[in-house]
Structure 1
């Protein structure tokens, strides 16, 4: 009877449906000396899990005082890192402008219309599009405002 129960528990274990109590039962069964021969292949798996649970991290981590941390931070040449980042950003902007300059100059059609009715409809369409994008931006500002209020509530600034 116990062997059938263990086999069912192994099947449930590999399907990810076991509880902690059932997994502990499997561990105790496989750590005993009377494991069925056809289940011997699972013994290292459950043996490793029991060994891993018993292991403790024994090495001590040295804690540095805060002033010493600041000194080490200053030693890392942070100004050089920020200058390098600035140069990379400027090179990226320059590359973008260089490759897109021709496209900007070729689009000189300003959308002029001879008929005032057509011009009015196109203006309404453009303003509606602009309004939609502004409304999306305003929604983002509401999220930022809600975040700021939550932060002030938590940190009581």
Structure 2
């Protein structure tokens, strides 16, 4: 009778459904000398807790204060940010000067041609977007027919 009760408790234990009192009962059972042979394999699992209580920490552990870690971390982060800003300004200083000259034409015919080219490119992209919207509308109509009817 007691063996079947222990088997049921073990099953509940492995399912994670035991209470603290039931787990203590399992620990007491497996620490005793009256353990069934087929349950002997679980003895080290429950015997570990008793042995772990006996262990004591003998080494002194040096603790590093969090203030030092935070100070080094903030210093390192500020250095990285400063390097990033410096690198960005160094490599992008010339590109800003080149872009200032864009968009100005002395000849009106050149300006008209450039404007027409830009508008044609814009029109092509808008047409592609409209085609995509038409596919979506066709999909919506087909979906409504399929799911409503």
Instruction: Give the TM-score, by structure 2 length.
Output: 0.47
Larger radius of gyration: 2
Instruction: Give the TM-score, by structure 1 length.
Output: 0.45
